[in-house]
């Protein structure tokens, strides 16, 4: 049987575009469908606009710190609409680049919502296309918890990039990385931020020292964190939103915020209208089930990225997609390695991590685990006389001397941990770290001088 395409990709986000281009480079005839803007979550409403806003949020600290270095900065003011417009202009520019990249790769781009009619056929509006192999790369979408009365008044991370007026007061619900990043961005930009979390601490799953350090840092920067508050309700009033928060002890408090209250409580794969019932593709806990080669229960249908709900990060979606394309169109059988994936949290203070947390390491290696921890004031903060600290932590398995975890909270953590991650991924030992000459003066040198 002949098909319109060798490969048809549903969703032109991080995973979908990377796969389509790689497969086309190998000579495959590739089509891709996108219902929204090209580039997906990362480019349009995730990593990119968020990081631009992170940069915007750092300036007030910089102005303050510059005084310690002899600068006198005049009165400063912030124009939210100007920032949002500039951020969205950059997103538009990137959309154009993605279109050109796909055109240059000779990938045929369809605009509309793709839906399975049968296991080889996708309908896009009235049009139908067939393909020998199909890749599901539809990503995820934010969910608002249904156990919060009035949650319909809250916005999610999706809408925040288009809010035209800066909220003066905001309540952010949820202590995952998206919630804490937006708490820091808005706080840096001058919004009064209250972060409400159900548990004791933010960032479940991260190393405990990291969690403590970031949480303390956020409080020091003026964010109010209300922990152990599982019960919430939101009511719309003339004065704005009234958010009632309560703990198990029954004690409650009403916080008044502006029109915007961000529910940063989680994301789910975007599968509802995909027509998966017309295929044999299986799902579990709302995500597409795939094997280590990204193959679904239907032999010729594959899935990558957030819709499989494994590790929901852009470089992971890209890597999964490229491994699939290499295997099926490039003649290089390859599966993605999920070990030692570095990641960052762009809070203020910033954090980044690779490998095991101390708790995970102790569970696996028990007393053989040795922890090296250093906390210091970076040189930059001495003249401004600020009590900002950097925390660095190495976890070593003394059976092998291998560094099995590296964690950092402090300026440029993401940039520094990216390099350390190469060493950890290669299986570097503590002796290798010790034998590496530091770059002086830098904060990063602490990673090779900890004893
Ligand atoms: P997506 O990029 O979401 O792409 C899926 C695409 O499919 C979308 O464009 C969607 O419109 C389209 N689509 C869905 N259904 C259909 C259909 N039926 N037909 C046609 N098109 C369809 N990751 C990082 O690594 N670093 C970060 O700093 C980071 N920050 C983030 C901040 C926020 C606020 C959010 C929400 C996410 C962030 N992420 C970050 C996660 C990252 O954005 C995702 O992991 C990544 O985008 C996943 O790529 P994907 O290809 O699986 O899905």
pLDDT attached to residue 411: 98
107-150 confidence digits (pLDDT tens): 999 999 999 999 999 999 999 999 999 999 999 999 888 889 99
My answer on whether 17 and 102 are in the same domain is yes
My answer on whether 109 and 176 are in the same domain is no
Supply the mean pLDDT for the chain.
96
Question: Which of 264, 282, 301 is at the close of a domain?
Answer: 264
* Residue 238 pLDDT exceeds 90: no
The CA distance from 393 to 373, in Å, is 4
**Is 288 within 8 Å of 280 (Cβ atoms)?**
no
For residue 325, give Cα distances in angstroms to 4, 133, 134, 310. 18, 11, 11, 19
Residues annotated as part of the active site: 440
Q: Is the CB of 34 under 6 A from ligand 1?
A: yes
**Which of the four pLDDT bands, split at 50, 70 and 90, describes residue 239?**
confident
pLDDT attached to residue 386: 96
Per mean pLDDT, which range of 31-40, 140-149, 340-349 is the poorest? Answer: 140-149
pLDDT attached to residue 299: 96
My answer on whether 380 and 431 are in the same domain is yes
- The Å distance, Cα 49 to ligand 1 centre, comes to 13
* Residue 264 pLDDT exceeds 80: no
Instruction: Answer yes or no: is 39 within a domain.
Output: yes
Region 205-220 average pLDDT: 97
Question: Which of 211, 236, 264 is at the close of a domain?
Answer: 264
Residue 68 has what DSSP assignment?
A: G
C-alpha closest to that of 307 among 181, 135, 159, 50: 135
My answer on whether 133 and 278 are in the same domain is yes
Region 205-213 average pLDDT: 98
- Domain with residue 215: its CATH number is 3.50.50.60
Question: Which of 239, 264, 289 is at the close of a domain?
Answer: 264
**Which of the four pLDDT bands, split at 50, 70 and 90, describes residue 167?**
very high
In the three-class reduction of DSSP (H, G, I as helix; E, B as strand; rest coil), residue 222 is classed as coil
Share of the chain residues as helix, strand and coil, in percent rounded to the nearest 5? 35, 25, 40
My answer on whether 167 and 221 are in the same domain is yes
- 31: domain range? 5-141+268-329
The CA distance from 79 to 230, in Å, is 35
82-93 confidence digits (pLDDT tens): 999 999 999 999
**Is 285 within 8 Å of 279 (Cβ atoms)?**
no
My answer on whether 36 and 135 are in the same domain is yes
Instruction: Answer yes or no: is 334 within a domain.
Output: no
- Domain with residue 409: its CATH number is 3.30.390.30
My answer on whether 303 and 324 are in the same domain is yes
Region 324-353 average pLDDT: 97
Region 139-162 average pLDDT: 91
Ligand 1, atom 30, lies closest to the CA of 47
383-419 confidence digits (pLDDT tens): 999 999 999 999 999 999 999 999 999 999 999 999 9
Instruction: Answer yes or no: is 56 within a domain.
Output: yes
My answer on whether 12 and 127 are in the same domain is yes
- CB within 8 A of 304, min separation 6: which ones? 15, 16, 19, 135, 136, 137, 290, 294, 317, 320, 321, 324
For residue 144, give Cα distances in angstroms to 151, 181, 193, 246. 7, 18, 19, 18
For residue 265, give Cα distances in angstroms to 168, 177, 215. 21, 10, 17
- The Å distance, Cα 393 to ligand 1 centre, comes to 31
pLDDT attached to residue 230: 86
Position with higher pLDDT, 323 vs 229: 323
Instruction: Answer yes or no: is 146 within a domain.
Output: no
* Residue 260 pLDDT exceeds 80: no
Instruction: Answer yes or no: is 415 within a domain.
Output: yes
My answer on whether 162 and 253 are in the same domain is yes
pLDDT attached to residue 413: 98
User: Which of 31, 38, 44, 46 to probe ligand 1 with, by most ligand atoms within 8 A of CB?
Assistant: 46
pLDDT attached to residue 229: 87
pLDDT attached to residue 3: 98
Residue 407 parent element (H or E)? strand 402-409
Cβ-based burial of 284 (10 A; exposed 0-12, middle 13-18, buried ≥19): exposed
Work out the angle at residue 392's Cα, subtended by the Cα atoms of residues 390 and 396, and round it to the nearest 5 degrees. Answer: 175
My answer on whether 43 and 124 are in the same domain is yes
Query: Could you give the number of structural domains in the chain?
Result: 3
My answer on whether 49 and 158 are in the same domain is no
**Is 430 within 8 Å of 403 (Cβ atoms)?**
yes
Instruction: Answer yes or no: is 337 within a domain.
Output: no
Instruction: Answer yes or no: is 335 within a domain.
Output: no
My answer on whether 226 and 277 are in the same domain is no
pLDDT attached to residue 387: 93
Rounded to 10 degrees, what is the CA torsion of 242, 183, 359, 449?
A: -160
pLDDT attached to residue 195: 96
Instruction: Answer yes or no: is 48 within a domain.
Output: yes
Position with higher pLDDT, 143 vs 308: 308
**Which of the four pLDDT bands, split at 50, 70 and 90, describes residue 263?**
confident
- The Å distance, Cα 175 to ligand 1 centre, comes to 20
* Residue 265 pLDDT exceeds 80: no
């Amino acid at each position: 049987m002949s098909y319109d395409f060798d490969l048809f990709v549903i969703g032109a986000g991080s995973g979908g575009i990377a796969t389509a281009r790689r497969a086309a480079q190998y000579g495959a005839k590739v089509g891709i469908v996108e219902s929204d803007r090209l580039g997906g979550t990362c480019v349009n409403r995730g990593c990119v606009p968020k990081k631009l806003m992170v940069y915007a949020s750092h300036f007030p600290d910089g102005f303050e710190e510059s005084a310690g270095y002899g600068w006198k900065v005049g009165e400063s003011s912030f124009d939210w609409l100007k920032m949002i417009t500039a951020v969205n202009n950059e997103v538009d520019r990137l959309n154009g680049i993605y279109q050109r990249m796909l055109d240059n790769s000779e990938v045929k781009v369809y605009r509309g919502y793709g839906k399975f009619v049968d296991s080889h056929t996708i309908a896009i509006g009235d049009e139908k296309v067939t393909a020998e192999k199909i890749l599901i790369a539809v990503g995820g979408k934010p969910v608002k918890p249904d156990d919060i009365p009035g949650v319909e008044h809250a916005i999610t991370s999706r809408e925040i990039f288009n809010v035209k007026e800066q909220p003066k007061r905001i309540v952010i619900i949820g202590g995952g990385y998206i919630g804490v990043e937006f708490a820091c961005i808005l706080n840096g930009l001058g919004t009064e931020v209250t972060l409400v979390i159900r548990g004791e601490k933010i960032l479940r799953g991260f190393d405990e020292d990291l969690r403590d350090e970031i949480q303390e840092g956020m409080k020091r920067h003026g964010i109010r964190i209300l922990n152990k508050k599982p019960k919430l309700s939101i009511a719309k009033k003339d004065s704005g939103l009234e958010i009632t928060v309560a703990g198990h002890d029954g004690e409650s408090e009403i916080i008044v915020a502006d029109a915007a209250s961000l529910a940063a409580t989680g994301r789910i794969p975007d599968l509802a209208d995909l027509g998966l019932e017309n295929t044999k593709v299986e799902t579990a806990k709302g995500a597409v089930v795939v094997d280590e080669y990204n193959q679904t229960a239907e032999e010729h249908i594959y899935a990558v990225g957030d819709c499989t709900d494994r590790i929901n990060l852009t470089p992971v979606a890209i890597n999964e997609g490229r491994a699939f394309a290499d295997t099926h169109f490039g003649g290089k059988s390859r599966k993605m390695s999920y070990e030692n994936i570095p990641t960052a949290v762009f809070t203020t203070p910033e954090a980044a991590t690779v490998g095991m947390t101390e708790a995970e390491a102790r569970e696996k290696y028990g007393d053989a685990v040795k922890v090296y921890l250093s906390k210091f004031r970076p040189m930059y903060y001495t003249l401004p006389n600020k009590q900002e600290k950097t925390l660095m932590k190495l976890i070593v398995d003394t059976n092998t001397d291998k560094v099995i975890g590296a964690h950092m909270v402090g300026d440029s953590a993401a940039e520094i941990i990216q390099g350390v991650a190469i060493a950890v991924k290669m299986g570097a030992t503590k002796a290798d770290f010790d034998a590496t000459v530091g770059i002086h003066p830098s904060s990063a040198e602490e990673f090779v001088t900890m004893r």
